[in-house]
Amino acid sequence: MFNPNEIKSEKCISLETYRKNNNSVKTPVWFIVKNNLIYVVTRSKTGKVKRLQNNLKVKFATCTARGKITGKWISGTAKIITDDQTKEIVKLRDKKYGFMAKIAKFFSKSKGEFFGFSIKID
């Protein structure tokens, strides 16, 4: 069985979410592993948020920053987290990704507020 701690030191995962017509969309994202769950923070006006609001089923695999898959695909279920949990994950993300996280925060402000979700392995 897959343990999220196995990928804790990786930089990116390719997150596969699903449109209403069930077509998949893959997006490389930063992530945090905590308490055997994978956490992702994005902005509220992104496509992946819209897709997650329609379908919480996801797949992910480790990847490069450009999305080239480097690991095996794992199925999971996303769960939208609270604002307080999102703030905590943003702090952990900032610690993991350092200066790059600050740059990303600055350039992504126009895409809405932070939106966090966890992924539990199926």
Q: What is the mean pLDDT of each run of 10 residues along the chain (122 residues)?
A: 94 98 97 97 96 98 97 98 97 92 81 95 96
Tally of domains in the chain: 1
Side-chain-side CA neighbours of residue 73 (13 Å): 9
Give the domain CATH number at 87.
2.30.110.10
Supply the pTM of this predicted model. Answer: 0.93
DSSP string computed for 76-107:
EEEEEPPHHHHHHHHHHHHHHHTHHHHHHHHH
Parent domain of 60: 4-121
